[in-house]
Amino acid sequence: MTIQLTEETTAGAALGIELRSDITVELVDHSASDLSVVRAARVSTAGERAQREDKGDGYTDGLIKYLMRCRHGSPFEHNYMTFLVSAPIFTVRHMMRHRTWSFNEESARYRELEPVFYVPDEQRLLRQEGKPGHYNYVPGGPGDLENVVTSAGEVYVSAYREYTRMLEAGIAREIARMVLPVATYSSVYATCNARALMHFLGLRTNRPDSAYPSSPQREIELVAEGMEAEFARLMPLTHAAFESYGRVSP
């Protein structure tokens, strides 16, 4: 997104300030398949023979549906997916609420952060109505987006100018970083198994057909949607069963 800087924020060009609205999710590693779920479940009755079994998609589909329906969750844990996510820090913190995941994030103690900051795009709903926990989000009024982007841009320029000033003065990176806003972009490796991912998707997507509908912040929902697309590709039968039984993790 390109914005017009006010006279007060023309310093942003010299600082190389970049405003972004996109949030990216990349699958970088995995060991995940529907067959792994079946083999993990079958070991209880077939022993080590389960590792060599492949009874076909029909059997796999039926057993996965049974496991999902009856909430037998542990067979869905014997796999992993690792994602590289680029998102504003406030979204990364939402991810880290999911404590069964593993995370490694870029560190502002060890490297100077780039001047890349988040702003909403034209599709982002900007106003909320209702009480906490029961908000409805509605489009912004005339001038709302311009107001948000202009105000944010001015703050970002000021914050990054002070950040670089402290670094140039010899202040430690771990101290200088405290002036940067939570809209600063960060990169994080996030690893989970299918069971943990289904729990994440149940909470971080807005789906009225869910057994327990959720209303996540849109930015974390974008992360969830990117992860769900890869999950559905890698484990289509598991994902279909997840959908069929109310998008509830077993």
Residues designated as active site: 204
Q: Which of 88, 113, 106, 75 has its CA nearest to residue 198? A: 75
Given a contact cutoff of 8 angstroms between Cβ atoms, the answer to whether 73 and 194 are in contact is no
The β-bridge partners of 85 are 25, 188
- Report the alpha-carbon distance of residue 119 to residue 89 in Å, rounded: 12
